[in-house]
Amino acid sequence: MSKFDLRNPIMCALDRDDPKDVRTLAEAIGSYVGALKVGPRTVLRAEKNFIRDLSEIAPVFLDFKFFDIPSTMESSVRAAFDLGATFVTVHALSGREALERLSKLEAELSQVRPFHILAVTVLTSVGADTLPDIFESSDIHKNVMGLAKLANESGINGLVCSPHEVESIKTAYSDMKIVTPGIRPEFSTSNDQKRITTPKEALRMGADGLVIGRPIIEAESPIGAIEEICAEINR
């Protein structure tokens, strides 16, 4: 069991355009993974009950990365919960007021059923040479740690960051639950991710959830890929 009380730490990113394809894939692999991650690419093309239907297969990770005024973020997160999501992402850059209000909302909703708000730090597709100028320096690690500190002080104990920052965050905030994208099994390629590592190494550093997409959904046998990842973790 992972610290999120999931079947396993694999959160499969179902990044496809056709909701019917996603549903078919979810039905095939749902019993093999910890959660099913979907985002606007699919959900905005889907019917109203799409997330609810997926949640009957496995916990749903709704990755919309909400970033707005506090009241709108609260309403959006509550809507995600009402639709059946177990995990939802927001941007840590939304600020202290928003994060503090979302922390209170998470506590309220968690009384009904398990629910986690994850604050996104710096995307794993960003490297030192592409970090936006608005950040105070080109040191990605420093910026991620600053956002982790803000989330922790605001009462949010779920974070999304690259594998490269996991160990430092866990050292500073041991109770923080960390989901990390940029996970590439030994048999796969990096694609457009820049700050990456293997599933086993990410877990060793303290990650609680592993976002893995293309190595699974583009495999000839998605179930076979999942089984290979689990074997790699357990070696």
Reported as a single tens digit per residue, the pLDDT across 120-136 is 997 766 556 656 565 66
Catalytic residue flag (residue 20):
no
Whole-model pTM over 0.85: yes
Query: How many Cα neighbours within 13 Å face the side chain of 63?
Result: 22
Domains delineated in the chain: 10-234 (3.20.20.70)
pLDDT digits (tens, 9 = 90+) for 176-197: 999 999 899 988 765 555 567 9
Nearest Cα neighbor of 116 from 233, 229, 16, 5 is: 5
Which pair of structure tokens corresponds to residue 196? 């990456």
Pick the catalytic residue from 20, 37, 65, 149. 65
